[in-house]
Structure 1
Amino acid sequence: MATADGGTDSIEKVDVKGSIGAILDYSSRIGKEEKVAMEMAIEEFNSQYSNQHIDLLINDSQGEPIQAALAARELVNRHRVKAILGPQSWEEASLVAEVGSQAHTPILSLAYATPQWATERWPFLIQASADQSAQMKAIAAVIEFQDWHRVTIVYEDIPSSATGAILQLSEALKDVGIEIGHLLPLPPLSSSSSLVEELQSLKEGQCRVFVVHTSLQLGVQLFETAKKMEMMKEGYVWIITDTISSLVHSIKASIISSSMDGIVGVKSYFNETTPQFEIFRGRFRRKFISEHPDEEKNEPGIYAAKAYDATWAAALAMKGGRATGQQLLEKISNGQFDGLTGKIQFSDQKLAPAHIFQIINVVGKSDRELGFWSETSEEESGFWRDGRALAQVVWPGGPRNTPRGWTPPTDEKPLKIGVPTGSTFKQFVEVIQDGNNIAFKGFSINVFNATVERLPYALPHKLYPFNGTYDELVRQVYLKKFDAVVGDVAIVAKRFEHAEFTQPYAEPGLQMITPVRSKSSNKAWLFLKPFTRAMWILTTFINVYNGFVVWLIERNHCNELKGSVPNQIGTLLWLAFSTLFSLHGEKLHSNLSRMAMVVWLFVALVITQSYTANLTSMLTVQQLEPTVADIETLKSSNSMIGYCRGSFVSAYLKDVLGFNEKNIKNYSSPEEYAKALKDGEIAAAFLEAPVAKLFLAKYCKSFIASGQSYKVGGFGFVFPRGSPLLHDVSEALLNVSESGKLWELENSMLSSEKCEDGETEDDEISRLSPSSFWVLFIITGGTSTFALLVYMLHRNWNFHDSTSEHKTIWRFFIAIMKLWRQRTRKLSRRVSDVELPRGSPNIEI
């Protein structure tokens, strides 16, 4: 054994005498092991330091806090002990600490549940047992590793459990998202009948993962009762804390094999393979057998090792000579040595916390190691086992596959599902009551039924109507009145206080709905809309150009085309535009002008008919736009608005979007919304996205969605927090969506709504542009240009037979062809530089 100053073999010849007191519970296995270990430590100390002698005075507390306090007073006042070891329970240790602080006597507490604040209240208290908060994190890690989401905690109903270990365990489970479905406190002296009653309530529930934190005696009694009630068979999971798992080595083999097979435990770890512990084990077994021959097993555990190390810590502090209580406290707090459980060193009068825990599996007549869990820091932790994953667990009943951790509802006890009766849109949920018969219909019900069909197991359930607000309905799950809720229930953050939601089966969003008005409400300039600006310009140019050609050719044959400049301009424009409505062939004298006019009339006919058809469409088809563009318009005009049921919509409109509460009204049916919007009671209605689609399907022409969609809500199914069904139902719901079944059900719902005010066309009709008529424009322009060229050549050439117009035209044509052949190459280059419209045919010259 190492000394306080780090030496191992040196023996100082100092004559120091004194006594160390100890308070133990002889009736418990822990007390028996601690007594043997303490006596061994004192014997070894006195043997190693032969010129000094320390007495060990042990009193039996019988597990009673008052008895422990009386024993402490006797040790301090009568026997003048220098320090006191123990006791094991915090209920006893707290009273002993009070006595020790008053007498200035150091108390080395072996209680595992010592609160963090204890050393501040009792300055002479030293926590000689490591804090177990890390152990609770290890238990939470085991549960998370197996992918269980809900557990039941069974614990011994003593103050230290409720305020210590159970509180720490609850925090650890919460940190990893595991829900505590039920807390079951058991009296320390529970009878078999009371255990049967308590366990029956657990058996009737769905949760099958139980964490047990009790004394060894109560724990063994609990598992023996559970075995008789068939709660140690396949499907059940039992996890034990250090208070039992560190004492499995002491339980009779018959009890382990008959009542505890398959249990998983987490216990404090220390190296049991060191030479120091091997020597201790051999001596401990011999002494324990001699003192407790009735005990079947005589192996030492962590409690014996801790008691041994605590005794050495006190003895080494007393070795240096006589000291006051304060001096002895400081020497114990500042001392350090290598003990059975590792390096013994105190910080702020507390033993360094444990960071490594052993995961065990109770199998056969003993336990086997599965691996370890370590917490290297607050952020990092994990399992390990010789560089590999944890060993395979043998669960209660013998299976090696991980149990589901819960049991589905049965036909005898089906799932109780609440359904809202006050849905604004009955297409989602409708409750029909005919005498004693109640029927449930709607999209939400259909989606849930499709989801249940996708589950890998049967899910017996029964629907119950609920007449109340949606917030109240969700709260019923928290109060355990319902096991789930199915309906058009919006997924809202504040509702997570009472329950959890599946994946949304209807898209989230809050949409503004407003009346519509025609985009063409100002029709004064509607006659210009059939053509684009470019079309109007090109048409005007072609008209004027054709009129000019006709006027130029006919002016020498008709006196009406001569006169003053203003008169000729007016005549030219008249010729240009009158061709759109009539053919003046009988008034034309030249075949050239007649040729140009005939082609232009054909083109004009096509253009005017297209214009008429497009204008008719614009006058016939109504184009719609919202009366309100955005919420800023609503707020600036102080307009009234409506919202759809759920209180969260009202709160969102006030708190997030900033509407005045006085301007918000609630309506209870689609018809009321439609009437209020049409009558001008409200300027807009805010509906959740799923019901907005349904509303617009019914009133497809009168109203329109406007502004942006606010990503809130979405419909989902409700389950209790940590419900084992939640994960499976969400997965099944995703399968329904990915298979197309959800889309099919939604389309079926929307198609069932017939538009009550007719169909509408929202797409703007295309306006006609030159790209639709470029071929016609080339034909008519080319014809007029040809006529103009022939006419100009005719006037500049000197022909003898000028009386014969046909002969002259023929001769002019021959001359033009000769001139054309001469300039073919030059014209070809010019034409190749001209970019024709897309889709133009190739022109060969």
Structure 2
Amino acid sequence: MKLLLVVSWIRVLCVVVCLWSTMASEDVHVGAIFSLDTINGRVSKFAMEAAVADINSDPSILGGRTLSLQIHDSNYSGFLSIMGALQFMKTDIVAIIGPQSSVMAPVLSHLANELHVPLLSFTALDPTLSPIQYPYFFQTAPNDLFQMTAIAEMVSYYGWAQVIAIYTDEEQSRNGITALGDKLTERRCKISYKAVLPPDIRPRGMMNLVVQELVKVKMMESRVLVVNTLSAYGPIILRAAKLLGMLEDGYVWIATAWLPTILDSRPLPDIFDMAQGLITLRPHTPDSQRKKEFTARWNQLSKGAIGLNVYGLYAYDTVWLLARAIKAFLKEGNNISFSNDPALTAIGGGSMNLSALSIFDGGNQLVQTIEETNMTGLTGPIWYDSNRFLVNPSFDVINIVGNQMRQIGYWSNYSGLSVVAPEILRSRPQNRSSASQKLYSVVWPGGAKKKPRGWVFPRDGRKLRIGVPRRVSFQEFVSEDKHTRGAHGYVIDVFLAAVKLLPYAVPCEFIFFGDGHQNPSYTDLVTRITTGVSRNAVSYSLLELSV
């Protein structure tokens, strides 16, 4: 009897060991969707593969399981992104890293919602991608809302009232500019004009459209230009601006993170040449020993094919974030299992074999685990707040000078603009006073050291019509020049001096009234203005009385 009991226990133990061995040796499948011919696509591929290798070299991370990464090249195509996601869903994957573009994020998020597969993207940073609408979608780099807040605070810091937004008409760029407009309004500033370019300006013939739109911009009042686009399109906009002489003294150019993405990975002399004096932003990643070691490994990892940019760091951390979440998921006793989608089974697979798509049974639990994961990566501390924003968003503020990206300060949601690193300021009491906001000096376009006033008199703008009396007495205050027919005198001098101090343009035209033989009646003029009798009088101002 005892012998039979022992044999039974041995059999049970063997079965358990075999099952554990089988489970431990299973691969954990993860997909990734990127355009591998882009800068971020190439950098991300090397970084993600390095993260997978590092995770698999440590058996304690996934309990002996192997993390398997399958990368699908979407080749700039939304259709291929969808097809790649569908293919992944047939191979029992637990998560997808991507998409690279915000254009595809809503489409793939609907698919993820149906099949319970988390999506993690460090480049699709559209401010409108809400976790309420897309509960399986995570942004693993700072949302563009914070980058637009940083730009709005810089505009306010330098005392400019208006900006012109230049952007390509795709989701991330367009929605980013909408967020910028909201943040500027909070600071009593505004976007005076939106220069909207086609979604893809690379095809031949598109350069002419870009030039035509920038010609309109050049005719306008504001000289503060914000360019929000993708790294593939930014240089095209700068080439058109250079052709029109818009990269010279008097202009202010603020570029979003697309510019450092290019210069970090492909520091080409012609890009530096066009970008002289520009201000740009790059997500801030604190210095650390791990970051230094990874940077030192980069040439070996990439075989010298491309330089490391900040999104390579986010790519590496995204894989680690997912691995740590899977570890916690398994440690809680959850299993990686899949089942058929009843909705797809009911309608039949058809030629597309949709019935082969599987629901990840533990998808909801994995989402919760990702939300609760708290780790420190190459990019610094990583965890989510109650709105599913990454905590402590911050940016480097950079000025392009010569062939260098000169750092002039930082922006963070905690301290605003500063010359002290955000991680240092977070250890101090919060100080958001205007006196605490500071950046180092800037070399502006054209080599100017003095801050541009940010506006010029528009060539086609509507003028303020100023009523000037033809006085007989006290002509030293205001009178009409008999030769030039212009206005001069003390009042005119004071008025023009005041106009020059305004932070925006006020083009004006002096309109004389009265016959010059006797002082005109102000009462008569005001009566004509209010009754609409006097031609164009509705736009007059009484210069002498107002001054």
Tell me how far apart the structure 2 counterparts of residues 68 and 302 of structure 1 sit (CA, whole Å).
23
Among candidates 40, 57, 60, match of residue 30 of structure 1:
40
Change (3 A) 1:486 1:268: farther
Change (3 A) 1:349 1:234: closer
Change (3 A) 1:484 1:16: farther
Question: What is residue 285 of structure 2 aligned with on the other side?
Answer: 270
Q: TM-score, normalised by structure 2?
A: 0.72
Letter in 2 for 1:203: K
The answer as to whether partners of 2:220 and 2:460 remain within 8 angstroms in 1 is: no
Q: How far is the alpha carbon of 1:115 from its aligned partner?
A: 4.1
Question: What is residue 497 of structure 2 aligned with on the other side?
Answer: 454
Among candidates 444, 450, 453, match of residue 401 of structure 1:
450
Question: What is residue 307 of structure 1 aligned with on the other side?
Answer: 315
Question: What is residue 114 of structure 2 aligned with on the other side?
Answer: 102
SS of 1:121's equivalent in the other structure is: coil
Tell me how far apart the structure 1 counterparts of residues 365 and 177 of structure 2 sit (CA, whole Å).
36
Among candidates 334, 346, 357, match of residue 395 of structure 2:
357
Map 1:418-429 onto structure 2 (within 5 A). Answer: 419=465
Tell me how far apart the structure 2 counterparts of residues 456 and 174 of structure 1 sit (CA, whole Å).
23
Question: What is residue 65 of structure 1 aligned with on the other side?
Answer: 78
Quick check: which has more Rg, 1 or 2?
1
SS of 1:90's equivalent in the other structure is: coil
Tell me how far apart the structure 1 counterparts of residues 370 and 149 of structure 2 sit (CA, whole Å).
29
* Corresponding pairs, count: 444
Letter in 2 for 1:404: R
SS of 1:326's equivalent in the other structure is: helix
Q: How far is the alpha carbon of 1:398 from its aligned partner?
A: 1.0
The answer as to whether partners of 2:409 and 2:417 remain within 8 angstroms in 1 is: no
Question: What is residue 186 of structure 1 aligned with on the other side?
Answer: 197
Change (3 A) 1:353 1:90: farther
Among candidates 208, 216, 220, match of residue 205 of structure 1:
220
Change (3 A) 1:408 1:311: same
The answer as to whether partners of 2:464 and 2:540 remain within 8 angstroms in 1 is: no
Map 1:508-519 onto structure 2 (within 5 A). Answer: none
Tell me how far apart the structure 2 counterparts of residues 112 and 97 of structure 1 sit (CA, whole Å).
12
The answer as to whether partners of 2:168 and 2:200 remain within 8 angstroms in 1 is: no
Letter in 1 for 2:316: Y
Q: Percent identity?
A: 26
1:343 aligns with 2:378: no
Tell me how far apart the structure 2 counterparts of residues 368 and 270 of structure 1 sit (CA, whole Å).
16
SS of 2:322's equivalent in the other structure is: helix
SS of 2:417's equivalent in the other structure is: strand
Among candidates 229, 233, 242, match of residue 218 of structure 1:
233
Mark the runs of 5 or more structure 2 residues left unpaired by the alignment.
1-22, 337-361, 426-435, 472-483, 513-522
Question: What is residue 300 of structure 2 aligned with on the other side?
Answer: 286
Q: How far is the alpha carbon of 1:132 from its aligned partner?
A: 2.4
Mark the runs of 5 or more structure 1 residues left unpaired by the alignment.
1-12, 293-297, 428-438, 459-479, 489-510, 512-642, 648-665, 670-714, 719-732, 734-741, 747-845
Quote the RMSD (CA, aligned, Å). 3.7
Question: What is residue 506 of structure 1 aligned with on the other side?
Answer: none
The answer as to whether partners of 1:484 and 1:717 remain within 8 angstroms in 2 is: no
Q: TM-score, normalised by structure 1?
A: 0.48
Letter in 2 for 1:86: G
Question: What is residue 507 of structure 1 aligned with on the other side?
Answer: none
Change (3 A) 1:255 1:426: same
SS of 2:376's equivalent in the other structure is: strand
Letter in 2 for 1:406: W
SS of 2:159's equivalent in the other structure is: coil
Deviations 1:235-273 (A, max 9, x none): 1111111233344312333123321111111221111x3
Letter in 1 for 2:219: E
Among candidates 389, 392, 406, match of residue 441 of structure 2:
392
Change (3 A) 1:245 1:257: closer
Structure with greater contact order relative to length (CA < 8 Å, sep ≥ 6): 2
Letter in 2 for 1:202: V
Tell me how far apart the structure 2 counterparts of residues 145 and 132 of structure 1 sit (CA, whole Å).
20
Tell me how far apart the structure 2 counterparts of residues 364 and 398 of structure 1 sit (CA, whole Å).
10
Greater mean deviation of Cα atoms: 104-113 or 338-347: 104-113
Deviations 1:40-79 (A, max 9, x none): 11110000127321110010112222221111111012x2
Among candidates 126, 134, 138, match of residue 126 of structure 1:
138
The answer as to whether partners of 1:156 and 1:214 remain within 8 angstroms in 2 is: yes
Change (3 A) 1:367 1:418: closer
Change (3 A) 1:72 1:419: same
Tell me how far apart the structure 2 counterparts of residues 717 and 153 of structure 1 sit (CA, whole Å).
32
Letter in 2 for 1:337: M
Tell me how far apart the structure 1 counterparts of residues 228 and 115 of structure 2 sit (CA, whole Å).
34
Map 1:159-174 onto structure 2 (within 5 A). Answer: 159-162=171-174, 164-174=175-185
Question: What is residue 52 of structure 1 aligned with on the other side?
Answer: 65
Q: How far is the alpha carbon of 1:396 from its aligned partner?
A: 1.1
